Structure 1
Amino acid sequence: MSDRRKDYHAFQAGAKLLADALARDRTPERVPIYAQLHEFAMHELGVSARAFYTTPELLIYGALEITEAYGIDVPYADYDVYNIEAEALGQALVWDDDIMPDVDRDRPLIAGPADLDKIRTPDFDSAGRCAMIIEAQQMFLEATGLQPTLNFCAPFSFVANIRGT
């Protein structure tokens, strides 16, 4: 895996290409390449899903290493977004060695109306992997100088996941 001290600020050129592509008054010199590659990076690094998705250094520096190795212009601090809020509320996850975790649809957090009382605002410093994601996002910012994107699960998907559907 990449050396945590490695400087990935060269990705700022790719981020500029993306910004130019999104701007109404600028045209990029070429189409920027951007990829959601967290699972691919995990496989390329040869690490288990549990290690990759629970270790901020593996998640961020591993993804940056693979992004750089494949000549992708714009890095992306991505992970199993659909699970983070659900896990923080207490939803059980299913872990496999080869794929990202998923909610345990056989054990939904909300099986019926009485379970709605379980829902409380989580403590983001200790619930699930929230603190790890915050740490990973900070690592991405420090390594690249780029503000990481804000990732969250869409409301309908979130509710479907904690209902086990």
Structure 2
Amino acid sequence: MSQYPSGPFGNKDPFGQQPSYQSPYQSPQGGYGYQQQPPQQSPPLSPLAMISLFSGLGSLGGLFFFCCCGPIVGLSFLMGVASVTTGHIALKKFQTEPGRESGKEIAIIGLVFGYIGLTISVLRIILLIVSMLVPAVLPAIAPNRRPQFHLEMPEPN
């Protein structure tokens, strides 16, 4: 029985060829002397590296998008600590168990974001504390010095 049905003119194969069950781009040996290999699966992505990256991004995002809120600075600080901690744990895991998980670059990027977020958070917390203490400390340092403003008012006509 043929692969093609018979047509109105009695031609069973429209191209006059035998049906081929082999790919035209592949030789019977597997193609150009190479045997086909099944695709190798890459190791799974490390969840600790992903947590490090996302908490580092959250630390930076909290600092730059919510710059006026004091509680956000504390939250950004905690996210920076989480990013640095999970990033270092992930890198240690990559050294002790090589090839088991992937994502070393992601852990390093998370570490960088975490350290930047931590540094900016610490500087902003110091600035926040200083800005709260300066008005409280200034009267104790110079109790009799008050700012004097000399405003000259125009005389009414």
TM-score (norm 1): 0.26
**Larger Rg: 1 or 2?**
2
The normalised TM-score by structure 2 is 0.27
